[in-house]
Amino acid sequence: MAFNIQDFITKQVASAVGGVEVPTNAKNTVLNGLSDSILGSLTQTATKPGGIDMLKGLLTGTSSAAASPVTALATNLFTKNILSSLNLGSSINGALTGLIPSIVGKLGGILKDQDGDGDVDFNDILITLGVGGKKSGGGGIFGSILGSILGKK
């Protein structure tokens, strides 16, 4: 079965947010907002020049999530699209945005040599995300995203 990055992110977000006192009426918005912001930052990064290399570094664990432009973008998206409308207070906002680097950091190491050619390359990204390549059987959200970027779907 192909790796589903959206499910992985959703589980990491749910686990991380458990330690923050989020009002019940805002919890689903926060959980969905964090997941969407992280996934959105990955998607937007993939479309930028040099973005695939940034994702490769992040997903192999060779670049720091805390210093990654992917993490900074996720934080900006979450702050602008979610926190600005919830009025949770600076303490909760700070705690929630502080979770993003650790959630993104959990993505480190998910990318490995999947096709057995001895290196981690674009084909390995596609296989890991269930988009294509020799070992894949799926598509999912990244299939449509990368497919549209690459003109393959």
pLDDT digits (tens, 9 = 90+) for 41-51: 988 998 899 98
Q: Which contacts (CB < 8 Å, 24+ apart) does range 115-118 have?
A: none
d(CA 89, CA 93) in angstroms, rounded, equals 6
**21: pLDDT strictly greater than 60:** yes
Mean pLDDT of 37-60: 88
Amino acid type, 81:
N
Cβ atoms of residues 108 and 60 within 8 Å: yes
Cβ atoms of residues 67 and 101 within 8 Å: no
**Torsion sign across C-alpha atoms 147, 148, 152, 153:** positive
- Per-residue pLDDT, 129: 60
CB atoms under 10 Å from CB of 29, counted, come to: 16
**19: pLDDT strictly greater than 60:** yes
- Per-residue pLDDT, 32: 94
**138: pLDDT strictly greater than 70:** no
Name residues whose C-beta falls within 8 Å of residue 144's C-beta, 6 or more positions apart in sequence. 153
Cβ atoms of residues 114 and 127 within 8 Å: yes
**76: pLDDT strictly greater than 80:** yes
